[in-house]
Amino acid sequence: MSYQNLLFDIDDTLLNFQAAEKQALGGLFKELDQPLTPATYAYYHKLNISLWQQFERREIDKPTLLVQRFTTLFTHLGEPNIDGKRMEERYRFYLSQGHEPMPHAPEVLTDLSRNHDLYVVTNGVAKTQQKRLTEAHFNHFFKRVFISELVGAQKPERAFFQRVTAHIQAYQPEQTLVIGDSLSSDIQGAESFGLDSVWFNPDHQPNKTNVKPTFEIDQLTDLEKIVA
């Protein structure tokens, strides 16, 4: 099977979001003159994943998610009167500086962009994602960047992929491949829309869902064999 259109997630697929998250939280806590302990980071990380999954299920909206994670975190730390909106703004400032590529991402994008049409599909915050892609020098690889808040729908909704594929010239489903690390967002979205998918799973996490990716890889270099 030959794939022409490659739809990439950003976080923990092309850019190391966990590194950016830890760096951003560290910057925020340093600004507050508070220690960021491993336990606090672990609590925030788990909380953040849970809230994003609620967002994917349409149980909360993005503005609520962004503020609630900090009001919940600081309530947990015994500071219930903290300004969650202000904490989000400062965290976002530090997060936008995190653009460490995932292993082999630059060379894989360089190779694939020669003979394939590359796109970004992300649920992240538009301003932050655009800045991170720019500073990673990844922009030029992509024909278009699709961000949920600008598209007007979000992964894994069918409407998101309908709007994305409507802007892909000569789109053919059998020649389109979704690549991402999230079963609930990227792979579920692709499956629901009838697209093939690649689950990027470098840590070999077990698949405890009913979602079935077409392919599973643990390093980005394996993509080149799949899409050829």
Residues marked as catalytic: 9
How far is the C-alpha of 29 from the C-alpha of 164, rounded, in Å? 38
Environment class of 60 (CB within 10 Å of its CB; exposed 0-12, middle 13-18, buried 19+):
middle
